[in-house]
Amino acid sequence: MVVSSEDGSVFIPEAIMEKLHISPGTKFAIAGEGDTIILKRIQILSEKGFEKLGDKGTEIAERNEIEEKDIEDIVHKYREVNVD
């Protein structure tokens, strides 16, 4: 069990930090709903990782015959459905 401090800080036990390779200064995204809090480590892609991600997107677009001109429409349709 962990307890939050007055300023909202939460102590992550050393065993979990070691197991998940978390070091001081690691950044997290945080989300909460009801009585659940989720932390997700944020990892910044390297230039090579970003290029691989772009290549994967290109591969998916080609496989689905999506052209550059279609992207704006796809983004707008997605946002209409997924806006809170």
* Cβ-contact 41, 28 below 8 angstroms: yes
pLDDT at 1: 85
In tens, the pLDDT along 14-55 reads 999 999 999 999 999 999 999 999 999 998 888 998 899 999
- Every domain of the chain with CATH number 2.10.260 lies at 1-43
Q: pTM of the full predicted structure?
A: 0.49
What fold characterizes domain 1-43? Answer: Pemi-like Protein 1; Chain: D (2.10.260)
User: Residue 45: CB partners within 8 Å, gap ≥ 6?
Assistant: 53
Tokens 């707008």 belong to residue: 76
* Cβ-contact 10, 4 below 8 angstroms: yes
User: Residue 12: CB partners within 8 Å, gap ≥ 6?
Assistant: 2, 22
